Structure formats: structure tokens, C-alpha cells
Amino acid sequence: MALFQAEPAETGGKPAFSTGILPYQSIRELVRDREIDALVAIDEDQLQPASLDLRLGPTAYRVPASFLPGPDTTVMSKIEAIGMYPVDLRAGAVLERGCVYVVPLLEHVALGSRLSAFANPKSSTGRLDIFTRLITDGAVAFDRIEPGYRGPLYAEIAPKTFSVLVRQGSRLNQLRLRRGSPPTSGAALRRLHEQVPLVDTPDRVTLREDNLGLTLDLSGDPATGLVGFRAKRHADVIDIDRKGELDPRDFWDPIYAKPKDKPSRGIILNPDDFYILATKEGVTVPPDHAAEMVPYDTMVGEFRVHYAGFFDPGFGFHNAKGGGTKAVLEVRSHEVPFILEHEQIVGWLRYERLMAEPEKLYGRELGSHYQNQGLTLAKHFKPWR
């Protein structure tokens, strides 16, 4: 359903804070006021508790390499200079693995002077190993929109493992907006954890400044011994808009736990392979906060654990005492093979306060796919049997 085709509905009350991440109702107001607009009307279901899904436009451009336009340069001028050929997405088209594409998005923005934004791939995008980043005109960094930016948005798309079928309107990344510069601190994170346990392992909590450490679970499912999946190197095309239809065994090899009497229960990451693993902890994001995974931290090793870093308000929040849902990790080693051990710290979660609690939380109300997940593949696959 498109937003504001008729008289706009009333939104929530006044924000509790003057700075912070914008909640659902504030994003809705930006759409109403056309600070976020689109060539095709924005649908209600694009609005998430603290983010907005972005949609591909009608044309993709094959380019020889990733790029940033740099100051005073538009993305389209760079495409005209180095682009190879256009790809019509209106009826659907395959983006080949190992290739780089830039796609103008349907959405564009006209942000105020105190409003900035940052982007991440959607969860399902990351679990398919589709490297996706946001670009703006004049950008000197990916996935960032500076305060006061007015102009188009673009997605850089590089399928790493599977070729994917996409079309106009497909959603690969999402936008989170921030007003001002809200304060963060380790003390605030500790207070938050005391109010609502952020992980369901109270005897094992690792805090580093304003980040929460997460560890790897290689103990194995009690029934099956399954600890993860490794992507097959040669598999069929995946239609990004079709859910629950694919046999996972055509795309993934299972990884099982090693016996407890082995000297090491670790797994060796091959730099050429892509893995789906899970955290030992169940994670909770309280309704008045959002979280983001730090994707690549050389302090814990030469590997990346998360392409899709947004955790919405309400993720893993089952009651006032928290509860927790495992975080699924999209893992790829850099340059050299790397051993991951059971209960090793593999990533850090950064929490940030919202301006107000969103009118809708992540979970059943929004039909969220991963609220009660364990070790879960992308929504395109049937359950692993």
C-alpha cells in the first residue's frame, strides 16, 4: 500500500529526545514532507521500526570496478566515463556473480542540515553474500549520506557467491536516519544492560567502550550437530523476490560440530568460501534502541562476520526481561585461511538510542522473518531438513 495517497494518518507523539535514530513514525513524516521521495510511491511495508527499505530502479549499469565519485562529481558522470553497458531490470535480469553493477534507486532524499543517514544491506541480502553499498553524488565514503544532502541514491551491487535475479522494485539495502549527534558511552551501555539484559548469557558479558562482544557457537545443534553452512561454489540463480522455494542442499553444504574430545573444536575458514554461522548469545535490542554490527574488526582477526549490520528495535525482545535471539553471521575470511574457535569473540554490536520508541517493533506484527531464528539461512530457502 502506497503512503499518503489520501489524507496522511496521524503519527505518534513528540519525540522523547532531540537527537538520535529516527523511529518508524518519524521516517513516515519525512516521506509525508517529501524529505524522502521516490519515482514510484513509497509503500507502507518499506518502513521498518528504525529504517527504510530502498528499491532498485529500472536500469542497472555494469561497471568494471567499484568506485566513489568524489567531491563535485556525480555518480552518473562516472558511469558515463567508465560504464560498460546498461541492463534493463523492468522485466527482471540476472546480475552475475563476480561482476559489479551500479543501480539508481527509486528513492531520493532532501535532508535537513541536522539529518544524516547511513545504509546497510538487508539481512537476506547479506545471507546471500551480495555485497551491496549505497553511493551518493559527491560521496567520499560508502553507505553514508551527509547532512543537507539533496539528490539521488545509488546501490553498488556485487554478487560474490550466487548470481541473482532482480527487477525494478527489488529491495537489497536499507536506510537508517540520525538527527544530530546523540551521545554514546560505555557507562550508558552498562546501564542499558542492567535494565534489559542485552544477551542471554549473564555470566559471559564482554563490553568494550560502547560495544557489546558476541561469541561464536560451534557446539552444534543438540539434535543434528549442525553448526553452520558453507556455500557451494557453483549453484543456480536465486530470484531475490521469491521466498521459501529453494532446496538449501542445492546451494549449501552443512558443517557439523567436532567431537568434544578433539583438541580443537574450531573450523578453518577458506578465503574463497562463504559461511553462515551463529552466535552463542541470544541478543536483545530494547524498543527504544537500535543496534548495528561492526562488520570487520582486525583486532579479532582477518575476517568479516556481518554484511547486513542493522538490528531493529524489538529484535529478540520478547518481554521486559529481554529473552534474546541468536545473531546469524555472514562470514568470509580475508586473504589467508583463519581458524575460528568455539566461544571466540567474532564481532561487536553497537547500540544507539532512538529519538522515541517506534510505533511498530521488529517481530510478528511486521512479519519479520528472523525474530526467533537459530542458525537460519536466507528466507529464499526451505527449512533445512
Q: DSSP string spanning 23-74?
A: -HHHHHHHHHTTSEEESSPPBGGGEETTEEEE-B-SEEEEESS-----TT--
- Element at 123 (helix H, strand E): helix 123-127
| Residues 285 and 353: beta-carbon distance below 8 Å | no
For residues 308 and 294, give the distance between their C-alpha atoms in angstroms, rounded to a whole number.
10
For residues 322 and 291, is the Cβ–Cβ distance under 8 A? Answer: no
DSSP state of 10: P
Question: Cell 532531540 maps to which residue?
Answer: 18
Residues counted in the chain: 385
Q: What is the DSSP string of 349-373?
A: EEEEEBSS--SS-SSGGGT-TTTT-
The two domains 20-179 and 186-353 share their CATH topology (first three levels equal): yes
Q: Among 32, 114, 27, 10, which residue's Cα sits nearest to residue 313? A: 27
C-alpha cell at 202: 549473564
State which fold the 20-179 domain adopts: Deoxyuridine 5'-Triphosphate Nucleotidohydrolase; Chain A (2.70.40)
Q: Which residues contact 318 (CB under 8 A, 6 or more apart)?
A: 324
Number of other CB atoms surrounding residue 189 within 10 Å: 21
d(C-alpha 212, C-alpha 296), whole Å = 14
Question: Per-residue pLDDT tens for 236-268?
Answer: 999 999 999 999 999 999 999 988 777 677 899
Domain ranges of the chain: 20-179, 186-353
Residues 6+ apart with CB under 8 A from 174: 48, 51, 52, 53, 54, 119, 120, 121, 122, 310
Does the domain at residues 186-353 carry the CATH identifier 2.102.10.10? no
Q: What is the pLDDT of residue 335?
A: 81
- What pLDDT is recorded for position 5? 46
Q: Is the distance from CB of 41 to CB of 3 less than 8 angstroms?
A: yes
Give residue-wise pLDDT tens across range 118-160. 999 999 999 999 999 999 999 999 999 999 999 999 999 999 9
Report the pLDDT value the prediction gives residue 324, as an integer from 0 to 100: 86
Contact between residue 69 and residue 44 where contact means Cβ atoms under 8 Å apart: no
pLDDT < 50: residue spans in the chain: 5-13
Sign of CA dihedral 365, 371, 373, 377: positive
Q: How far apart are CA 351 and CA 361, in angstroms?
A: 16
